[in-house]
Structure 1
Amino acid sequence: MSVRRFVGTNSRDVMRQVRAALGDEALIVANRRSDDGVEILAMADDAALDHAEPSPPAPAPAEHPFDALSERLLREMQDMRALLSRTHPESAPSTDASLKALLAGLGFGAELGEELSEALPAALAARDVRDAPVMAWLRDQLIARLAVLEREADFFEQSGIVALVGPTGVGKTTTTAKLAARFVMRHGTRPVALVTTDSFRIGAHEQLRIYARLLDTPMYALDQEQPIDELLGRLGGKQWVIVDTVGMSQRDQRVIEQVDQLQGGGSKVRLVLVLNAASQPDTLEEVVLRYRQAARAAGAELDECIITKQDEAGRLAPLLDIVMRHGLRVLFCSHGQRVPEDMALADPATLVDQALAAAMPTATAPQAWAVDTLSPRWSRDVLGQGRRLSLLLAGLRKRVAGFALLEAAWDIAALPGVLHDRRLEALADRAREQNALGVAWSPRRAERGVAWAMPDMALDADGRLCALTLLQHRQNAGWQARIEAQHQAAVHLLPTLAEADTLDALEAERLTWISRVSGSQRVEWQGERHALTALFADSALAHREAVRFRGQTLELYSAHAEVDDREGRRLIAWVGELRDPETAQRVARRYWLTPARLGTETFSLLVTQLQSEGATALTKRAWQTLKEADGGEVSVPLRLLMASGAAAVATHLDNAEDEQAQALRQQLLRLARTSRKRRDAALLEALLHTLMTRDAIRQLGSVSREALA
């Protein structure tokens, strides 16, 4: 890049010189009038100069401050170009690109790399991909995507028939023995039986027979094409039967016949796919796809797997990628031949740590593998959306107390209307399953513009809103009766000051309570009665804290004073003023009373009550959306429970600032792609979209397979 000086009698003349020498893309750096006319400094890329047409040479520059400016500008532009070249994306890959390369190097597929790079939080986007916070986030994301058996007892305490299926040589017979041994250790030898269908391999029966003899359990052989029901009569009422099937290549058409044989009778057989961790990724992909297709063809499901030969796998990431994408649940992991020692309950953290431990340098990372021939692109895209939805719902269930109960309310809405109120009663009785620590009570009146009163909202142990709200019409009359009915709640956020007997009861039980009051509320201070507005009229609101309020980030300024009420209770009076952090303009003003015995520790509850106020407006918005969507077919109480529950979850996520909440917000907003600007409204819209999508998928699941064929 170069800077040149041009002089002409007027502007038109000098600009003609610039265009002739540097072209139409020339950049004018500076211009001024001189004794000779007009003087201009202009520049263009050297490449442009090479192709520019020759011009009348410019006069030799004289020693002049303008020339010094030209030289300085030239140096600065050269420095800027060098800086830009060092920070250009081509030479410094972004974090999401580095994340994709890292995952590819580990052996994860390209689809998972795209999915995780899109979900990368903005706070981590500027960091190196190998920084501890990024790797910790990546680990958590992978763990969350890996479904496993939570408790070993859940597998061995269910009676029935379990059949292990999979290709030859993956370790089905040894795994059969390991599972049987673990069952015997729990329940003894009497309830269990081993069955083999492998009549092809030489010595296959004998290998399993040796294990059966060691375990002191009976072993039976199931002939080819013999339905398993014909064998059950010989089992003598065994409670737990495990079947070691013949190994077949995933490309063998007899795979369908084998699964059909297991499912052909009236007995339900639980199919478990055995996967060799040391197999090639494309082979594993094909095994999962073909065996699941065979199961569906036989009218069965194949959603669980056992990982074998974990100790022989050079990289575990390809297998985990396949398990995640296909939504398989991993039951156990096998890592040796010893029976039963070398098998353990699948632990997602251990599996992910093993996969991440094999990290390759990003510069040498190969391209992520993909099997394009096994399923259409559109199918994989839809499955990707389904995985994101499943992961999001699982995260919400884990994060928000009672979210599974809110989902149950949506399930009720899909039933005939005559069942709504009856099922709703049963669901409302389950509210205690949220293990709520407190209640944010709502005013006892209909909200403006609607015919219903805002439900009360339960609080979890951290003071965050739970998902299942408490409908007012199902509660007792009177504050004291309502509070006593919520006997598990130790914290009560009251919308107005309760009667004296209710306050006495709260104090007698040493419960935590706060009450919002009006500015005209009178209290005793230093022997005189004052309205709160007058008491705090000249107070400096010294304490300041950033809070979320109705979808905005504001600053809460507050002050407090120890006072007495008319009955002589020692209280703390509070004033809080919400202000815009940029303009300092007041948005809202609130007053509260709290017990003096609790000190100023109740301040966090004042914030909680402030934040819960926003749920009312969100409930109205959700109510209208649901009413338009259900066409009036959902009962009013059920719709109100659904709307207020969605509003509570949106408020919960909007107000929390921990990493888990941030990740869920990002997943929710990206999945639904809402255009709302206010975050709480955007979260509500995205949540409604998510729950409606979930409901639609559940409804589709009731369609017969023939209709989808």
Structure 2
Amino acid sequence: MRFVGANSREAMRQVREALGDEALILANRRVEQGVEILAMAESGTPQPEAPARPATSTASATPRQAQGASTQVGTVQPGAMSPGATSPGQDPAQAFEAMSARLLEEMRDMRALLTRGQGPAGEQETCRDALARQLEEAGFAAALAAELVSTLPEELALDGAANDQVQAWLQRQLVQRLHALGNEGEFLDHAGIVALIGPTGVGKTTTTAKLAARYVKRHGTRPVALVTTDSFRIGAHEQLRIYSRLLDVPMYALNADQPVSDLLERMRGKSWVIIDTVGMSQRDQRVIEQVSHLRGASTPVRLVLMLNAASQPETLEEVVVRYRQATQAAGAELTDCIITKQDEAGRLGPVLDIILRHGLRLLFVSHGQRVPEDMSLAAPDSLVHLALSQRRPVRGAGSRQAAAPAATRQYGLLSQGRRVAVILRELRRRLVGFEHLEAGWDLLGLPPSVQQQRLDALCAKPSPLHPLGVMWSERAKVAGEAWAMPDVALDHDGAWSALPWLQHRQPPGLQARLAAARAQGASLHLLRGLPDAEAGAWLEREGLAWCSLVRGGQRVVYAGEKQPLAALAGLGEPMAQRDSRYRGAPCRLHLARLPVTLALKGSGRRGDELTAQAWLGELRDGENDQLLARRFWLAPARLGNDLEPLLVTQLQSDALPQLARRAWQQLTPAELGEVRADLRLLLAGGLATVALQLDLVEDDSARDLRAELLGLAGGRQRRRDSALLGALVQLFLIRDAIRQLGFGERETG
């Protein structure tokens, strides 16, 4: 059966209604009317209980599809397939011929859909398969391709690999994983000794001259010196000496078996020294000795590995593995690299694949012999774009990966480390206070007295953001628990802080808490229930913005009579509708407003009534418009009609208490070791806030981050705040495991 919808969600809804949840998706594609899906019931025939309804509506189908809709399986009208069924006044032979033509055309379309994109075994190629093939054709390893496509968001999986959004997603994933130098200053403005290492003929001497020229341009000739240890190649010294004369900087020669410390006295006063080492095969046992000599000085030496972009993938793999082993054996660390001879490479993908899988930081890219013009700072966007555009057919999926050395078997762990690094980097970028939440997690496992001391210091720090406002939680215990939901600060963009405010660490009394928040800059307060008379009077005197989420039974004065808000629901002036999410599903918020007056709690005097605005909200299902819930707010009338975004924010926070309760149950001492109750609550509230906020945000990077997180937790889980919460806990556990295994540098990226 063929289904056409305005988008993937609508088309999939039609599939479920007609064929049930176990339907098999045979093919999908973008068409002029939206998304077209070819599906069948799991048993091969439509399910008996499925409602008999057209698979494509006449309004959304093409004229030919509308004419042929009655020929689809499960939607055939009685007698429609009979040769004798004709319309009044129509010749039976012409009717039969027309029907045969329509059937033939439908069968051709179905055959094209079934055969389009099939692999060698005749199986239908999915969007993920197509992306994996595209990556392998560009030169990326099958393991890296599998890791990437496993995080493809379900919202994009039906769009097809050629879709612009899918290609933009793929580009973003590679760019995020490619750790590059931010600017030249990070490398050239730090004094010290730099040594370029790598196999013979990789371009170390030319790159030495290019780097020296860049340094001279920034800092002049006085602080820099060149050193060569290459006494094997004929004319190697002379080549570098010519560059030193052109740059007007001194050059020193050092035997390959001499330690760098032998030259330190002669190079006194030079703050930046670059060493052109002798080229050695990655299989040469003297590589360890070479690195040891470079390390044999009191001044640390920064090692940079040269990678020839024109080399075979297997050779590049072996170079990185062997040189890293050599540096580790010598007590050093190799994390930086430079790509050379990019202009000679048929594809850029293989060398980028090596850098990505081994977590190296890419500094520069060399693409010619001119000094210093033919070298540029690594630009991940342009490099990834170029790599994806250079493709060639591959004989068999995973053939190149199978030929890689056995050392790459640890790729799974390194892959997890890099994946964790990408997710953590994005969480820190997006969420204010996430670093503070990480610091709280790091207290787990410490003795209780140390936990207490460091938690006090963490909570005493100024808020990680200058809060615009605070979402105040109910001053009551969460159902079934002995604790109350922490409060959440808001920044000027409406983002929620990942580090919540524990209620028991705040001063007693609402006015005192409001004043303490005011001292940190908060001028907006989203309350649960009306403030008492004292706090309300203080808010009005200070001229602060506030609104209260109240129950439908809250009584207000309208038209001279006291009435519950629920009884006034149909009298409000309709306002704009807003998209939102409710309990993990999309919904629409219908708002209306109504002018009322009310008396704040505890105020028994006449004249203390507040002129207010009542906001009446209905939550309706985004697909079938079914009523899900009603909400009521009260706010001072002086605030006008600009409260709609705040109402949505407070509505979205409804799920926080139960989500925090779920997090509290997952953070058990049995799993994490001894943990103080207040630290456990801080982490539970923070994780719940992060998970819910990630579920609510709709931009592309948030969608990618959700897919990464859910993929890290295993399987293809549906987008739900509870699933994201479990994935966040899993993220921290994997991070801890990687650090304990000594792969911390892979995780931090």
Q: TM-score range by the shorter chain?
A: 0.7 to 0.9
User: Is residue 2:734 matched to residue 1:693?
Assistant: yes
Match of 1:473 in 2: 504
Matches within 5 A, 1:546-695: 546-566=579-599, 567=608, 569-579=610-620, 587-630=628-671, 633-673=674-714, 679-695=720-736
Contact kept? 1:547, 1:607, Cα under 8 Å: yes
User: Is residue 2:531 matched to residue 1:498?
Assistant: yes
3-state DSSP class of the match of 1:123?
helix
Paired with 2:218 and 2:542, the residues of 1 have a C-alpha distance of 46
Match of 1:372 in 2: 403
User: Is residue 2:444 matched to residue 1:418?
Assistant: no
Match of 1:390 in 2: 421
Q: Paired residue for 1:451, among 457, 482, 493?
A: 482
Match of 1:268 in 2: 300
Tell me which structure has the larger Cα radius of gyration.
Answer: 1
Paired with 1:502 and 1:697, the residues of 2 have a C-alpha distance of 49
Residue by residue over 1:532-559, the C-alpha shift from the partner in whole angstroms, topping out at 9 and shown as x without a partner, is: 3344366597865443223344443432
Deviation for aligned residue 1:114: 2.2
User: Is residue 2:169 matched to residue 1:142?
Assistant: no
3-state DSSP class of the match of 2:580?
strand
Moved more, 392-401 or 500-509: 500-509
What CA RMSD, in Å, does the superposition of the two structures yield over aligned residues?
A: 3.6
3-state DSSP class of the match of 1:467?
coil
Paired with 1:382 and 1:693, the residues of 2 have a C-alpha distance of 10
Check 1:375–1:448 CA distance in 2 against 1; reply closer, same or farther (3 A cut).
same
User: Is residue 2:354 matched to residue 1:322?
Assistant: yes
Residue by residue over 1:414-434, the C-alpha shift from the partner in whole angstroms, topping out at 9 and shown as x without a partner, is: 444432233333433556334
3-state DSSP class of the match of 2:175?
helix
Paired with 1:124 and 1:482, the residues of 2 have a C-alpha distance of 45
Residue by residue over 1:358-413, the C-alpha shift from the partner in whole angstroms, topping out at 9 and shown as x without a partner, is: 356x7999987436241257423333333333322233233333323322222232
Contact kept? 2:357, 2:415, Cα under 8 Å: yes
3-state DSSP class of the match of 2:310?
coil
Paired with 1:429 and 1:204, the residues of 2 have a C-alpha distance of 61
Check 1:527–1:160 CA distance in 2 against 1; reply closer, same or farther (3 A cut).
farther
Paired with 1:677 and 1:312, the residues of 2 have a C-alpha distance of 45
Moved more, 90-99 or 276-285: 90-99
Deviation for aligned residue 1:251: 1.9
Check 1:338–1:617 CA distance in 2 against 1; reply closer, same or farther (3 A cut).
same
Deviation for aligned residue 1:500: 5.2
Match of 2:149 in 1: 117
Paired with 1:674 and 1:440, the residues of 2 have a C-alpha distance of 34
Paired with 2:449 and 2:730, the residues of 1 have a C-alpha distance of 26
Residue by residue over 1:8-63, the C-alpha shift from the partner in whole angstroms, topping out at 9 and shown as x without a partner, is: xxxxxxxxxxxxxxxxxxx9xxxxxxxxxxxxxxxxxxxxxxxxxxxxxxxxxxx9
Paired with 1:195 and 1:512, the residues of 2 have a C-alpha distance of 66
Match of 1:17 in 2: none
Deviation for aligned residue 1:660: 2.1
Check 1:232–1:418 CA distance in 2 against 1; reply closer, same or farther (3 A cut).
farther
Deviation for aligned residue 1:284: 1.8
Paired with 1:64 and 1:409, the residues of 2 have a C-alpha distance of 77
Contact kept? 2:575, 2:593, Cα under 8 Å: no
Match of 1:87 in 2: 113
How many residues are paired up?
641
Contact kept? 1:194, 1:212, Cα under 8 Å: yes
Paired with 2:536 and 2:581, the residues of 1 have a C-alpha distance of 29
Q: Paired residue for 1:432, among 463, 467, 472?
A: 463
3-state DSSP class of the match of 1:289?
helix
Contact kept? 2:556, 2:562, Cα under 8 Å: yes
Matches within 5 A, 1:59-98: 82-89=108-115, 92=118, 93-98=125-130
Moved more, 104-113 or 607-616: 104-113
The letter for the 2-side match of 1:561 is L
Paired with 1:424 and 1:218, the residues of 2 have a C-alpha distance of 55
Check 1:569–1:542 CA distance in 2 against 1; reply closer, same or farther (3 A cut).
closer
Match of 2:257 in 1: 225
Contact kept? 1:445, 1:453, Cα under 8 Å: yes
Give TM-score scaled by structure 2 length. Answer: 0.76
Deviation for aligned residue 1:492: 2.7
Contact kept? 1:194, 1:243, Cα under 8 Å: yes
Match of 2:202 in 1: 170
Contact kept? 2:213, 2:371, Cα under 8 Å: yes
Contact kept? 1:674, 1:686, Cα under 8 Å: no
Residue by residue over 1:630-673, the C-alpha shift from the partner in whole angstroms, topping out at 9 and shown as x without a partner, is: 46512222222222111111101122233222222222112212
Deviation for aligned residue 1:689: 0.9
Moved more, 457-466 or 505-514: 505-514
3-state DSSP class of the match of 1:600?
coil
Contact kept? 2:572, 2:594, Cα under 8 Å: no
Paired with 2:624 and 2:645, the residues of 1 have a C-alpha distance of 25
Paired with 1:291 and 1:334, the residues of 2 have a C-alpha distance of 20
The letter for the 2-side match of 1:622 is A
Match of 2:273 in 1: 241
User: Is residue 2:364 matched to residue 1:335?
Assistant: no
Residue by residue over 1:148-207, the C-alpha shift from the partner in whole angstroms, topping out at 9 and shown as x without a partner, is: 112322223333322211112222223223333333444444443333222222333333
The letter for the 1-side match of 2:649 is T
Check 1:678–1:120 CA distance in 2 against 1; reply closer, same or farther (3 A cut).
closer
Paired with 1:678 and 1:127, the residues of 2 have a C-alpha distance of 18
Give TM-score scaled by structure 1 length. Answer: 0.80
User: Is residue 2:201 matched to residue 1:160?
Assistant: no
Paired with 1:340 and 1:591, the residues of 2 have a C-alpha distance of 67
Residue by residue over 1:60-92, the C-alpha shift from the partner in whole angstroms, topping out at 9 and shown as x without a partner, is: xxx999xx9999999998777655432225655
3-state DSSP class of the match of 2:463?
helix
3-state DSSP class of the match of 1:87?
helix
Match of 1:533 in 2: 566
Contact kept? 1:108, 1:368, Cα under 8 Å: no
Paired with 2:230 and 2:394, the residues of 1 have a C-alpha distance of 48
Paired with 1:467 and 1:411, the residues of 2 have a C-alpha distance of 15
Paired with 1:206 and 1:377, the residues of 2 have a C-alpha distance of 39
Moved more, 589-598 or 68-77: 68-77
Residue by residue over 1:580-633, the C-alpha shift from the partner in whole angstroms, topping out at 9 and shown as x without a partner, is: 567877554332123434433322221211211212111111112112444651
Match of 1:30 in 2: none
